[in-house]
């Protein structure tokens, strides 16, 4: 009786592990890397007056620019739901890959908007302009002096390459 | 004409120039000032013209992949070089000068070798090249000047300003060929941060801003013409052999100046039968390490160009007898933080180290494929390693007293890295036993053969090479007519 019960429990635990592993692998295989990007944007920028319909568009462009990280992001997608609310960022050392990921996503998104062109005013509605890619659209650095500020230092307006 | 030599072009030229990069172009600029109206100059460039719009789309300035053109015996050390009309313009436009003591490290610190000329001999040519390129700069720092920069310095960013307050006269605006004024004839730099393919042509480039030079009626420019060797007869250089359009051809000339960069130039000369002991040896380039800094309360990135500040506080000193000097480049390309309200509180610096050239780092002719140079660079030097080891302490000292939260020296993983400043393989010197050319860039033995470019640098000082090699070229051309 005891042996049959033990065997049953072991079988049950083993099945659970197999099922969980299979689920994890399946999620990874079909994991949507964009979900991690969206989670980071929601968590980090959700307090801003930002057009959330821009998030999926940005996520697609971001992933396109980082094809080499697709697999890692697909794995991280397993945790995209908790990532919306908490990340290990404050516990991680400077330079850790997960910190860099959040910095890269937030940096690229904010530079793709007009947020800094209006003095980083959090109360203002932020317009998503275009995915920030200096090779495609030049002179979009929002921190460079603009034309009119100084005749000898007139940076050209943003231009499409 | 012998049966096994390719046919010669009908003309004999006063000068044949190999390459169209900065070294060759500034040589030509000065040469044409002195040459008579009937002088004929042939210029042979291996690459072709690049279209700026296509370059931007491709994110590169070249058609020929440099890796395919060499046999790299030590693939852990990559080499970056563009082959195209104008030299491929892979440079970002930084133009610091050499420190006066860089010319005499052997005398002062017992390391390296002394240059056969000094800062004062080159200073007038620094000025002329800076004027020609429309360099933006401000304070001289430790680099003495006899005249101000032709155009005003770009704005520093906030981190630079903090460093400049801590290190007055030592942390200065980086002088650069990225335009700071429309009076250069170019748009003003807008710090897009993609300088190698500058999208607005603010950066001085030979193919764009010296193209008129090659329209001079005295010049015949042949593109996609690969020089194979220099021809030598009776103790003189008499011309070159080159390949174009599948044909083997020759050109005859009274003077040959080779400026095909520090890997191809020694390769061409080795294939020509030159046997100088130093030829091809002492291959080197500066090595850089990045440091990421998280600031505490400083909103950064307000500078006017992609690289804004130049830290010279560690470029020279008695320590150079044990470890290398370095420049601190302060980068201004926005890379924001994720934390609310602290987005701009970050800085990135690149520490550019000098090195001691080693004889065994070299360029040769690949035995299995003589149509390519082979390149050897087995390891970084102990001198450079001492610099890397001292780097964390140096950064602590640099940042002490500044509002900094933390810093991180980015580890070097995988390959040895590089800076696209290939140097040393045709070094200048007084002793023909350990150098290839003299102070006028003339070959010690074949006096009508000039060797141009950073291959002639006998040391690997912490300074971007383009301004220096351009000044040397101008001086060499002027000296021909002295």
pLDDT tens digits, one per residue of A28-51: 566 788 999 999 999 999 999 999
What confidence score (pLDDT) does residue B3 get? 44
Does B302 contact A at CB distance below 8 Å? yes
Q: Does B194 contact A135 at a Cβ distance shorter than 8 Å?
A: yes
What is the average pLDDT value for chain B, to the nearest integer? 94
If pLDDT is split at 50, 70 and 90, which confidence band does A148 have?
Answer: very low
Structure tokens at B368: 């299995």
How large is the average pLDDT for residues A100-129?
95
How large is the average pLDDT for residues B88-108?
93
What confidence score (pLDDT) does residue B359 get? 96
What confidence score (pLDDT) does residue A159 get? 52
Shortest Cα distance from B189 to chain A (angstroms)?
6
Smallest CA–CA distance from A45 into chain B, residue: B340
| Residue numbers in B near A152 (CB within 8 A) | 152, 180-183
What confidence score (pLDDT) does residue A70 get? 85
Long-range contacts of A88-93 (CB under 8 A, 24+ apart): A89/B338, A93/B408
Each residue's pLDDT tens digit, A79-90:
888 888 888 888
Tell me whether residue A23 is in a domain: yes
How large is the average pLDDT for residues B403-421?
87
- Reduced to 3 states (helix: H, G, I; strand: E, B; else coil), residue B225 is strand
What confidence score (pLDDT) does residue B4 get? 58
| Residue numbers in A near B343 (CB within 8 A) | 106-107, 110, 120
> How many domains does chain A divide into?
1
More confident residue, B59 or B469: B469
> Do B399 and B167 form a contact (C-beta atoms < 8 A)?
no
DSSP B463: S
Share of residues in chain A with pLDDT > 90 (%): 48
Tell me whether residue A145 is in a domain: no
- Of the candidates B234, B239, B216, the residue with the CA atom closest to the CA atom of residue B6: B239
What confidence score (pLDDT) does residue A150 get? 40
Picking from A89, A111, A155, the nearest residue to B338 by CB comes out as A89
More confident residue, A67 or B266: B266
Residue in this structure with the two tokens 């000082």, named with its chain if needed: B461
What confidence score (pLDDT) does residue B55 get? 81
Neighbours of B123 (CB within 10 A): 18
**Could you tell me the residue range of the domain that residue A71 belongs to?**
12-112
Does B224 contact A at CB distance below 8 Å? no
Picking from A89, A106, A140, the nearest residue to B336 by CB comes out as A106
How large is the average pLDDT for residues B256-269?
97
Q: At what angle do helices A33-45 and A54-65 cross, to 10 degrees?
A: 130
Picking from A47, A95, A141, the nearest residue to B190 by CB comes out as A141
Does B190 contact A at CB distance below 8 Å? yes
How large is the average pLDDT for residues B387-393?
97
If pLDDT is split at 50, 70 and 90, which confidence band does A152 have?
Answer: very low
If pLDDT is split at 50, 70 and 90, which confidence band does A149 have?
Answer: very low
- Reduced to 3 states (helix: H, G, I; strand: E, B; else coil), residue B363 is strand
| Residue numbers in A near B337 (CB within 8 A) | 103, 106-107
What confidence score (pLDDT) does residue A11 get? 84
Beta bridge partners of B241: B229, B250
Shortest Cα distance from A111 to chain B (angstroms)?
8
Q: Does B336 contact A140 at a Cβ distance shorter than 8 Å?
A: no
| Residue numbers in B near A161 (CB within 8 A) | 53, 56-57, 199
Picking from B59, B181, B343, the nearest residue to A152 by CB comes out as B181
Neighbours of B114 (CB within 10 A): 17
Does B262 contact A at CB distance below 8 Å? no
Picking from A107, A134, A139, the nearest residue to B336 by CB comes out as A107
- Phi, psi (rounded to 5 degrees) for A139: 60, 35
- Of the candidates B339, B358, B336, the residue with the CA atom closest to the CA atom of residue B347: B336
- Phi, psi (rounded to 5 degrees) for A16: -60, -40
| Residue numbers in A near B194 (CB within 8 A) | 134-135, 138
What confidence score (pLDDT) does residue A85 get? 87
Neighbours of B321 (CB within 10 A): 12
- Of the candidates B418, B388, B425, B420, the residue with the CA atom closest to the CA atom of residue B76: B418
- Reduced to 3 states (helix: H, G, I; strand: E, B; else coil), residue B350 is strand
Each residue's pLDDT tens digit, A126-146:
999 999 999 888 898 999 976
| Residue numbers in A near B301 (CB within 8 A) | 141, 143
Cβ-based neighbours of B393, under 8 Å, separated by 6 or more = none
Each residue's pLDDT tens digit, B148-190:
999 999 999 999 999 999 999 999 999 999 999 999 999 999 9
- Interface residues on A facing B, Cβ-Cβ cutoff 8 A: 40, 44, 47, 89, 93-95, 99, 102-107, 110-111, 120, 134-135, 138-145, 152-156, 159, 161
Tell me whether residue A17 is in a domain: yes
Region of A94 (left: φ > 0; alpha: ψ -120 to 50; beta: rest) is: beta
- Reduced to 3 states (helix: H, G, I; strand: E, B; else coil), residue A159 is strand
CA distance B243 to B241: 7
The residue among B178, B334, B340 with the most chain A CBs within 10 A of its CB, best to mutate, is B334
Each residue's pLDDT tens digit, B331-359:
999 999 999 999 999 999 999 999 999 99
CA distance B101 to B361: 25
CA distance A29 to A19: 15
Instruction: Say what the ipTM of the complex is.
Output: 0.89
Residue B1 has pLDDT above 50, yes or no: no
Shortest Cα distance from A9 to chain B (angstroms)?
47
Smallest CA–CA distance from B55 into chain A, residue: A135
Residue A99 has pLDDT above 90, yes or no: yes
Does B187 contact A at CB distance below 8 Å? yes
Question: Do the strands B346-353 and B287-295 form a parallel or antiparallel pair, or are they unpaired?
Answer: antiparallel
Residue B393 has pLDDT above 90, yes or no: yes
Picking from A95, A102, A155, the nearest residue to B188 by CB comes out as A155
Tell me whether residue A134 is in a domain: no
């Amino acid at each position: 009786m005891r042996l049959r019960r033990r065997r049953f429990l072991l079988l049950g635990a083993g099945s659970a592990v197999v099922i969980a592993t299979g689920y994890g692998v399946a999620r990874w295989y079909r994991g949507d890397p964009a979900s991690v990007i969206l989670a980071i944007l929601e968590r980090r920028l959700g307090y801003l007056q930002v057009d959330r319909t821009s998030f999926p568009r940005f996520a697609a462009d971001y992933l396109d620019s980082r094809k080499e990280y697709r697999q890692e992001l697909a794995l991280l997608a397993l945790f995209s739901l908790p990532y919306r609310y908490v990340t290990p960022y404050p516990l991680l050392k400077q330079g850790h890959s997960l910190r860099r990921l959040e910095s890269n996503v937030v940096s690229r998104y904010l530079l793709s908007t007009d947020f800094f062109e209006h003095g980083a005013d959090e109360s203002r509605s932020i317009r998503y302009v275009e995915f920030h890619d200096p090779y495609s659209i030049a002179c979009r650095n929002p921190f460079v002096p603009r034309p009119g500020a100084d005749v000898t230092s007139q940076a050209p307006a943003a231009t499409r390459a | 004409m012998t049966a096994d030599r390719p046919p010669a072009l009908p003309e004999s030229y006063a000068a044949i120039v190999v390459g169209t990069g900065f070294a060759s172009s500034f040589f030509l600029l000065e040469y044409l000032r002195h040459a008579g109206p009937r002088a004929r100059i042939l210029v042979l460039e291996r690459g072709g013209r690049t279209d700026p719009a296509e370059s931007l789309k491709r994110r590169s300035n070249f058609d020929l992949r440099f890796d395919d053109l060499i046999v790299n015996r030590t693939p852990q050390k990559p080499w970056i070089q563009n082959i195209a009309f104008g030299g491929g313009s892979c440079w970002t436009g930084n133009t610091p000068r050499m420190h006066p003591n860089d010319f005499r490290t052997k005398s002062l610190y017992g390391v390296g070798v002394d240059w056969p000329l000094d800062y004062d001999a080159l200073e007038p040519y620094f000025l002329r090249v800076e004027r020609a390129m429309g360099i933006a700069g401000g304070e001289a720092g430790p680099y003495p000047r006899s005249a101000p920069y032709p155009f005003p310095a770009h704005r520093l960013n906030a981190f630079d300003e903090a460093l400049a307050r801590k290190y007055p006269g030592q942390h200065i605006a980086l002088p650069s060929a990225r335009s700071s004024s429309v009076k250069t004839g170019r748009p003003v730099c807008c710090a897009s941060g993609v300088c190698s393919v500058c999208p607005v042509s603010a950066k001085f480039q030979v193919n764009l801003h010296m193209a008129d030079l090659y329209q001079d009626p005295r010049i015949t420019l042949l593109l996609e013409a690969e020089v194979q060797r220099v021809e030598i007869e009776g103790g003189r250089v008499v011309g070159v052999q080159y390949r174009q359009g599948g044909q083997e051809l020759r050109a005859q000339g009274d003077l040959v100046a080779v400026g095909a960069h520090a890997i191809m130039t020694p390769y061409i000369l080795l294939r020509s039968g030159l046997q100088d002991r130093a030829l091809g040896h002492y291959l080197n380039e500066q090595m850089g390490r990045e440091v990421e800094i998280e600031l505490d309360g400083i909103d950064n990135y307000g500078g006017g160009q992609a690289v804004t500040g130049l830290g010279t506080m560690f470029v020279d000193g008695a320590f150079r007898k044990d470890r290398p000097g370095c420049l601190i480049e302060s980068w201004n390309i926005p890379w924001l933080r994720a934390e609310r309200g602290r987005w701009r509180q970050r800085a990135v610096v690149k520490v550019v180290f000098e090195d001691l050239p080693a004889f065994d780092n070299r360029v040769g002719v690949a035995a299995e494929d003589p149509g390519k140079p082979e390149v050897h660079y087995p390891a970084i030097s102990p001198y450079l390693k001492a610099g890397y080891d001292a780097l964390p302490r140096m950064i602590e000292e640099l940042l002490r007293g500044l509002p900094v939260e933390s810093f991180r020296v980015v580890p070097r993983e995988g390959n040895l890295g590089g800076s696209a400043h290939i140097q040393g393989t045709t070094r200048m010197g007084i002793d023909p036993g350990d150098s290839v050319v003299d102070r006028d860039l003339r070959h010690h033995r074949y006096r009508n053969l000039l060797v141009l470019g950073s291959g002639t640098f006998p040391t690997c000082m912490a300074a971007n090479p383009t301004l220096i090699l351009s000044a040397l070229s101008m001086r060499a051309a002027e000296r021909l007519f002295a």
